[in-house]
């Protein structure tokens, strides 16, 4: 390997690590399916028969099924469980009000809250995407004080997430008041994946160009080994 080859290989390794971390953090293709399927089933059934109860039962049922599949495959269930809770809140809210459109309201409020969280934490100097991805990259919060280039990348990514989600809310909340249940539902389904993919892609772009993460776990292990070696050397000297 020449000195000119190594930076290229290091950059490729950094991109590969970033892709793997984003895949783990956001659930990949299966996570997207688990996010879209319950809402898609709800709006499909409601469009056909205009029955809130059957649409709600189907949405909850498929959410639980997705969790069971994860459990049987001994896979992580955090994305599927989050889907179950999201659907359950929507169903409970819609049942309480008797308005099928309210099935979507808790998720919309959550999206707005998440958008504000990305923006507020970035303004506070602790961008939310860094808090989410720091443990995945094994860097925890080291980027805050020891890796300013990476902190800047996390800030850019958090701004991207916040603004994209705010734009999504700017479309959905007027529709909540003006559109009927099926119109709102189909727009929601259509807006599930594209904004998410855009935000993930921008996150990848910013982080792929950032300095590599500091592996604080590896540092702690190295310190423990060094301490044991010093202890062993001290005993030998005695």
Encode pLDDT of 64-74 as tens digits.
888 888 778 77
Three-class secondary structure of residue 125 per DSSP: coil
Task: Domain of residue 69: give its range.
Answer: 5-230
Residue 238 inside a domain? The answer is no
CB 77, CB 67: distance < 8 Å: yes
Count of domains observed in the chain: 1
1 has pLDDT over 60? no
Residue 166 inside a domain? The answer is yes
Residue 237 inside a domain? The answer is no
pLDDT band at 171 (very low <50, low <70, confident <90, very high): very high
Give the residue, 214 or 27, on which the prediction is more confident.
214
Residue 179 inside a domain? The answer is yes
139 has pLDDT over 50? yes
Residue 54 inside a domain? The answer is yes
pTM of the model: 0.82
Residue 236 inside a domain? The answer is no
Length of the chain as a residue count: 238
Residue 235 inside a domain? The answer is no
Instruction: Give the highest mean pLDDT range of 10-19, 79-88, 133-142.
Output: 133-142
Residue 202 inside a domain? The answer is yes
217 has pLDDT over 90? no
């Amino acid at each position: 390997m020449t000195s000119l080859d190594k930076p290229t290989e290091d950059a490729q390794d950094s991109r590969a690590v970033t892709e793997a971390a984003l895949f783990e953090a956001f659930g990949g293709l299966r996570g997207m399916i688990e996010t879209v399927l319950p809402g898609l089933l709800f709006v499909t059934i409601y469009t056909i028969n205009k029955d809130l109860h059957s649409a709600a039962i189907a949405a909850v049922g498929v959410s639980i099924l997705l969790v069971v599949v994860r459990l049987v495959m001994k896979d992580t269930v955090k994305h599927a469980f989050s889907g179950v809770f999201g659907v359950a809140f929507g169903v409970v809210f819609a049942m309480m009000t008797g308005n099928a459109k309210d099935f979507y309201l808790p998720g919309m409020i959550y999206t707005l809250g998440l958008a504000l969280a990305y923006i507020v934490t970035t303004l506070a100097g602790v961008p939310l995407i860094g808090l989410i991805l720091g443990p995945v990259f094994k860097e925890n919060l080291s980027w805050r004080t020891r890796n300013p280039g990476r902190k800047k990348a996390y800030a850019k990514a958090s701004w991207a997430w916040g603004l994209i989600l705010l734009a999504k809310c700017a479309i959905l909340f007027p529709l909540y008041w003006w559109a009927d249940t099926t119109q709102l539902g189909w727009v929601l389904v259509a807006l599930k994946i594209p904004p998410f993919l855009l935000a993930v892609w921008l996150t990848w772009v910013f982080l792929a160009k950032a300095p590599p993460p500091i592996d604080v776990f590896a540092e702690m292990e190295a310190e423990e080994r060094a301490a044991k070696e010093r202890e062993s050397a001290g005993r030998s000297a005695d």
